[in-house]
Amino acid sequence: MTKKKKITVLIADDQTLFREGIKNVLMGEKWMEVVGEAADGVEAVAKAKQLKPDVVLMDIKLPKIDGISATRQIRKTCPQVNVLVLSSFEDEAHVLDAIQAGANGYLSKMLPTTELVNSIKRFTDEGLMIPQQLMGKLLHGLRKMGDVSAPAQASLTKTEIRIMDLLGKGMSNKELAKSLNCSVKTVKNHLNNAFHKLGVSSRTEAVVKAIEKGLISSEGNVVFDDEDE
């Protein structure tokens, strides 16, 4: 039997006690390995390039360069490295800045440790981690900036648009399959088709693109035109 690969994590935070605390929690999980730590943004970028972890847990308030700038550099130079922002800031401006910089997800530092571990696990499985309350702020932020145009289908079918809406609610593939009364394989096929049409490669990018194109309303509902599938 092939041994399952551990998820490798780099923790970027300027507070030593917080880094150590998170490291101890994560190292208690058999499926996860903390491969490095960074105390500032410059070190986070350098270690991400050197270690190429599966996930960087990124604080926003970092010395030298902030977490947003570090995220942008990491996603540009190491697109295979996922960045999951872990911050005490939950306002729409920070959420919007992080996602636009290329972050794959956004979590609060106030999460209980068990929820944090479960969120990272789900993130690595599904590729998206933006809690619904923060997704609402992301929607609002985009609309205030005027980034959302009039509703546009982008050639997506009604099922694909519905999936974008459910992704925005943080659903996993299994939950999507249950909601749509289909198999997980069918959900993955729909996702792949939607990604191709939207010109994206991840669930986070797909949701943001759907928001920008007005496929998801400010109330979190899908927007359809008169076309059928």
Tell me, yes or no, whether 180 and 199 share the same domain.
Answer: yes
* Position 218 in a domain: no
Tell me, yes or no, whether 105 and 153 share the same domain.
Answer: no
66-99 pLDDT per residue, tens = 999 999 999 999 988 989 999 888 777 788 788 8
Tell me, yes or no, whether 128 and 17 share the same domain.
Answer: yes
48-66 pLDDT per residue, tens = 999 999 999 999 999 999 9
* Position 94 in a domain: yes
Give the CA-trace dihedral at 117, 120, 126, 132, to 10 degrees.
90
Percent of the chain with pLDDT over 70: 79
* Position 223 in a domain: no
**Rounded mean pLDDT of 194-203?**
82
34: domain CATH number?
3.40.50.2300
- At residue 124, does pLDDT exceed 80? no
What distance in Å separates the CA atoms of residue 58 and residue 43, rounded to the nearest whole number?
12
Tokens of residue 113, six digits: 């440790």
Tell me, yes or no, whether 111 and 26 share the same domain.
Answer: yes
Tell me, yes or no, whether 90 and 164 share the same domain.
Answer: no
Which of 84, 110, 140 delimits the end of a domain?
140
Q: Is 109 exposed, middle or buried (0-12, 13-18, 19+ CB in 10 A)?
A: middle
* Position 30 in a domain: yes
For residues 1 and 58, the model is more confident at 58
Tell me, yes or no, whether 18 and 99 share the same domain.
Answer: yes
- Cβ neighbours of residue 34 under 8 Å, at least 6 residues apart? 8, 9, 10, 11, 23, 26, 27
203: domain CATH number?
1.10.10.10
Tell me, yes or no, whether 181 and 121 share the same domain.
Answer: no
Structural domain count of the chain: 2
Predicted local distance difference test score (pLDDT) of residue 148: 45
Tell me, yes or no, whether 130 and 180 share the same domain.
Answer: no
Predicted local distance difference test score (pLDDT) of residue 141: 59
Identify whether the C-beta of residue 208 lies closer than 8 Å to the C-beta of residue 135: no
For residues 109 and 42, the model is more confident at 42
What totals of helices (H) and strands (E) does the chain contain, helices first? 10, 5
Which of 95, 121, 140 delimits the end of a domain?
140
* Position 225 in a domain: no
Tell me, yes or no, whether 90 and 28 share the same domain.
Answer: yes
Tell me, yes or no, whether 59 and 161 share the same domain.
Answer: no
What distance in Å separates the CA atoms of residue 41 and residue 185, rounded to the nearest whole number?
39
Tell me, yes or no, whether 180 and 207 share the same domain.
Answer: yes
- At residue 209, does pLDDT exceed 90? no
152-193 pLDDT per residue, tens = 445 788 898 888 888 877 787 888 899 999 998 999 899 889
* Position 1 in a domain: no
Closest listed residue to residue 92, CA positions, set 164, 147, 19: 147
Predicted local distance difference test score (pLDDT) of residue 133: 56
* Position 179 in a domain: yes
19-34 pLDDT per residue, tens = 999 999 999 999 899 9
- At residue 222, does pLDDT exceed 70? no
* Position 222 in a domain: no
Tokens of residue 87, six digits: 């911050």
**Rounded mean pLDDT of 216-225?**
46
Tell me, yes or no, whether 71 and 174 share the same domain.
Answer: no
Q: Tell me if the pTM is above 0.75.
A: no
Residue-number span of the structural domain to which 204 is assigned:
148-212
Which of 117, 140, 163 delimits the end of a domain?
140
Q: How many CA atoms lie within 13 A of 170 on its CB side?
A: 15
What distance in Å separates the CA atoms of residue 136 and residue 127, rounded to the nearest whole number?
19
Identify whether the C-beta of residue 27 lies closer than 8 Å to the C-beta of residue 36: no
